[in-house]
Amino acid sequence: MINKHRKIIVSVAPVGREVSTPSINPITPGHVAAEVAACAEAGASMVHLHVRDRRGNQTADMTDFSRTLDHIRATSDIIIQGSTGGLVDLTIEERSTALNDQRVQTASLNMGSVNFGDEVYVNTMPDIRHWARRMAAEKIVPELEIFEAGMLPVYKQLMDEGVLSHPFSFNFILGVEWGLPAVPNSLFFLTSLLDAPFPWGVTHAAMQDFSILAMAIGLGAAVVRVGFEDSVFYAPGKPASTNVELVKRAVALIHNMGFEVATTEEARVILDVLK
């Protein structure tokens, strides 16, 4: 039964890799932070960030990442989520770079390997264990990234091994080529595999409209993610010109469905953010 007073977290992943109009894509610390501040003002309570250089490529150099967090923290208490993902030839330690900044409160933990177009996104079990241990050591709450249904039960194995413990949440990433497609049946199936009331959210890679996010909200999602990392589109052929525009549309959707948007403080409670 859906609680009519449910609060839904809007997460924003503001930096795209291949935004067709590069000038709208925030890359520099100042531009990213300004965009994040506006998104927070519009209702986003979490920001998902990779450690990138000025060309948008992932790097193990934390300089710009830390500067970005300096700017963000000057204006906002938005929850900071670091990414341990990325389709690059970085080592597992390099992919852990975001975990080295004490201000990172949650982090993505990719739960298995999957094709990304013609490439393979490699996340081996030993690597997943490594990141999970690092997050536990830093009191960073993992967000378990699920691209394929077989990745979901992996959490039980990690818990049995003592590598993963509460709190954590799930993020169902639909629409990646060639992971689970962004269709209603994917959400039905994934939610049917959840054997406890874990907080879960959805990311629609290459999103063309808000229908999958709306469906996820209806099915009980705690988090919906938007932003240029995943798509610039809010409707077929209609790109947003800023991340804020996408956040505002997500906020309007939540309100129009009769729910409320979680404040940062409420989001911290829902996700059990530890620091």
* Positions that interact with Zn ion (CB under 5 A): 83, 85
Q: Counting contacts by CB under 6 A, is residue 108 touching ligand KMH?
A: yes
DSSP string, 236-257: TTEE-SSHHHHHHHHHHHHHHT
User: Nearer to ligand KMH by C-beta: 15 or 215?
Assistant: 15
SS3 content of the chain, % helix, strand, coil (to 5): 35, 20, 40
CA 54 to chain centre: 21
Stretch binding ligand KMH (CB under 6 A), from 65-73, 78-86, 184-192, 264-272: 78-86
Q: Which does 111 bind (CB under 5 to 8 A by kind): ligand KMH, Zn ion, none?
A: none
Task: State both tokens at 239.
Answer: 């790109």
Stretch binding ligand KMH (CB under 6 A), from 39-47, 63-71, 80-88, 153-161: 80-88
Q: How far is the CB of 1 from Zn ion (least distance, A)?
A: 33
Q: Which residue, judged by CB position, is nearest to ligand KMH in the bound state? A: 85
What residues between 188 and 217 interact with ligand KMH by CB under 6 A?
A: 205
Q: Counting contacts by CB under 6 A, is residue 83 touching ligand KMH?
A: yes
Q: Counting contacts by CB under 6 A, is residue 138 touching ligand KMH?
A: no
Burial class (CB in 10 A: 0-12, 13-18, 19+), 7: middle
Q: Counting contacts by CB under 6 A, is residue 16 touching ligand KMH?
A: no
- DSSP, res 207: -
Task: State both tokens at 29.
Answer: 């610390």
In the list 27, 145, 226, 270, the residue contacting ligand KMH (rule: CB under 6 A) is 145
Task: State both tokens at 272.
Answer: 């059990």
Q: Judge whether 251 and 12 are in contact, CB under 8 Å.
A: no
